[in-house]
Amino acid sequence: MAENQDLAPIQVAGLRVVLEPRLQVASLRYFDRQGAFASLVHNITGMTLPDSLCALRSAEDRTWEAIILAWRSPTETLMISAAPTLIETLQGAAATLPDGCIVDQRGGALVFRAGGEAVADLIARLGGHGACPAIGESLRTRLADVAVLAVKVQPEETLLIVERSYGPHLMTAIRVSAADLAIPLFR
């Protein structure tokens, strides 16, 4: 795939936003947070499905292979990781379970990593006050009029998960907002 210039990293004073192509996304959909599917997810990842509006990171592992589970709705959690075979492992193990499934989103979702002291201001500008998650939160919001899942599992960064087709629009809006905030853009 040719590199899309609209997805090029944004580096400004107090703000860095970069596409993380190694991070893979899968939707874990289930009927019961305590059922067989939830047990399977726990057995394979070592993690429980998150409570409402919560996001969890596996252990203290800060490598690319760390797993993030981010609440999306009462019956859906997004799993974000760079572990190369995790999605296939879960799909195979869950194939016969009646209470849940894994939907591979690698072709349809992009993950952006936003860091710096201006992230909260940027998100407030694009989505309104209350759109920026606190540590351990996963918030469904609209940034630049696009549905985004904002996830924060460590102090220095916020992950923004968006449908692939809206990635260029979101990054363009971030560039414009950074300029509006009187932050000079460095490319």
Report the pLDDT value the prediction gives residue 61, as an integer from 0 to 100: 56
Q: Where does a domain end: 65, 81, 104?
A: 104
The boundaries of the domain holding residue 10 are 5-21+108-186
Report the pLDDT value the prediction gives residue 16, as an integer from 0 to 100: 95
Asked if residue 72 and residue 48 are part of one domain, the reply reads yes
Asked if residue 35 and residue 12 are part of one domain, the reply reads no
Asked if residue 92 and residue 29 are part of one domain, the reply reads yes
pLDDT in tens, the chain (187 residues): 445 778 999 998 889 999 999 999 999 999 999 999 999 999 999 999 999 999 999 975 555 568 999 999 999 999 999 988 999 999 999 999 999 999 999 999 999 999 999 999 999 999 998 999 999 999 999 999 999 999 999 998 999 999 999 999 999 999 999 877 655 555 4
Q: Nearest Cα to 66, choosing from 171, 164, 157?
A: 157
Alpha-carbon distance 144 to 136, whole Å? Answer: 23
Report the pLDDT value the prediction gives residue 84, as an integer from 0 to 100: 84
Report the pLDDT value the prediction gives residue 126, as an integer from 0 to 100: 94
H helix or E strand, kind and range, residue 37: helix 36-45
Regarding pTM above 0.85, the answer is: yes
Name the domain count of the chain: 2
H helix or E strand, kind and range, residue 142: strand 137-143
Q: Where does a domain end: 42, 73, 104?
A: 104
Report the pLDDT value the prediction gives residue 92, as an integer from 0 to 100: 96
Q: Where does a domain end: 79, 104, 129?
A: 104
For residue 70, what is the domain's CATH number?
3.30.70.1520
For residue 17, what is the domain's CATH number?
3.30.1360.120
Tokens of 91: 């799909």
Asked if residue 182 and residue 113 are part of one domain, the reply reads yes
